[in-house]
Amino acid sequence: MAVVMTNVAATKRKKRSQWGLAFRRYRRNKLAVFGLIWVALFLLIGVIGPYIAPYNYQTANFLAANSPPSLAHIFGTDNLGHDMFSEIIWSVQNALEIAFGATLVSFLIGIVLGMWAGLRGGLADLIIMRLVDSMFAIPTYFLDLILVVSFGRGMGPILLAIGITGWASYARLIRSQVLSMRNSDMVEAARSLGASQTQIAWRYVLPNVMNSMVVALAFGIPGDLTVMAGLSVVGMGLRPPLPSFGNMLAQSGVNVLGYPWLMYFPAIVFAITLLSFLFVADGLQEALNPKG
């Protein structure tokens, strides 16, 4: 009897953990659950894609160029005879690497600058916030274009270009959170006990701003996916042998009247993916910040 009682107590306590509660709130949002499933599938394909893709992205079967969807090529082939299904699977990997990498780069720059501005204040704050303002004044997409020209059009360069320009919103968010934290009793107590600025930043401030960070990251990833594909639309995306959604969308426009299947599949997959990422972000926002 006693054993059973403690077990019940233990499970009850477990269920009340912050993340557990957040998960339960998340589960109630059906769209968010759908989004999560699609994103998980997307991630899975990103990891195992190269092993399950029926063709390599470099193999081109010229004899089967521009063939409509069939058993051999379930999504059809493009004008060089690339299998569209394999192209899509390979582009998932490229899209994920660039989107996650770029978001991580922006996030790291943003978190360092934002915390520095918020905790140090004074001149550092002034300079960093001026920088943030000017990043907001000009669409960062244009800066991306210029960086891509200068870095090149490979995976790494595009990742860096998108990452370097995207930090401003993270920095601003983190700074505002830090400012509201800075004068809290908790931080004051830590400071009076002799904690250093770095200790305060990592032990006290960071864990408390984690929720909003997770939400910001979740919104950032689809944003970076969009920018990456947008670069291809003007012809500055990944250099063509590397498959990417942007290239497929941009090139399909040329052949849409003759070969519409080149357009259906990339457009639908890309649209559902962006939506799913947004549903996940929205669900996370509801689950992690139930007040706001």
Asked if 138 is part of the footprint of other proteins (rule: CB under 8 A), the reply reads: yes
Shortest gap between Cβ of 11 and other proteins (angstroms)?
34
Q: Which stretch binds other proteins (CB under 8 A): 11-19, 129-137, 196-204, 205-213?
A: 129-137
Return d(Cα 251, Cα 84) in angstroms, integer: 12
Of the two residues 50 and 157, which places its CB atom closer to other proteins in the complex? 157
DSSP string of the chain, one letter each residue = -HHHHHHHHHHHHHHTSHHHHHHHHHHH-HHHHHHHHHHHHHHHHHHHHHHH-SS-TT---GGGTTPPS-SSSTT-B-TT--BHHHHHHHHHHHHHHHHHHHHHHHHHHHHHHHHHHHHH-HHHHHHHHHHHHHHHHS-HHHHHHHHHHHH-SSHHHHHHHHHHHS-HHHHHHHHHHHHHHHTSHHHHHHHHTT--HHHIIIIIIHHHHHHHHHHHHHHHHHHHHHHHHHHHHTT-SS-TTS--HHHHHHHHTTTTTT-THHHHHHHHHHHHHHHHHHHHHHHHHHHH-S--
* Binding residues among 17-46 for other proteins as defined by CB under 8 A: 31
Among 50, 69, 141, 164, binds other proteins (CB under 8 A): 141
Shortest gap between Cβ of 112 and other proteins (angstroms)?
21
- How long, in residues, is the chain? 292
Of the two residues 41 and 138, which places its CB atom closer to other proteins in the complex? 138
Asked if 291 is part of the footprint of other proteins (rule: CB under 8 A), the reply reads: no
Q: Which stretch binds other proteins (CB under 8 A): 17-25, 95-103, 130-138, 208-216?
A: 130-138
Of the two residues 59 and 134, which places its CB atom closer to other proteins in the complex? 134
Shortest gap between Cβ of 220 and other proteins (angstroms)?
13
* Residues 96-125: x where in contact with other proteins by CB under 8 A, - otherwise, as a string: ------------------------------
Among 54, 253, 289, 290, binds other proteins (CB under 8 A): 253
Q: Contact residues for other proteins (CB under 8 A)?
A: 31, 133-134, 137-139, 141-143, 145-147, 149-150, 152, 222, 226, 229-230, 233-236, 249-250, 252-253, 256-257, 260, 263-264, 267, 270-271, 274-275, 277-279, 282
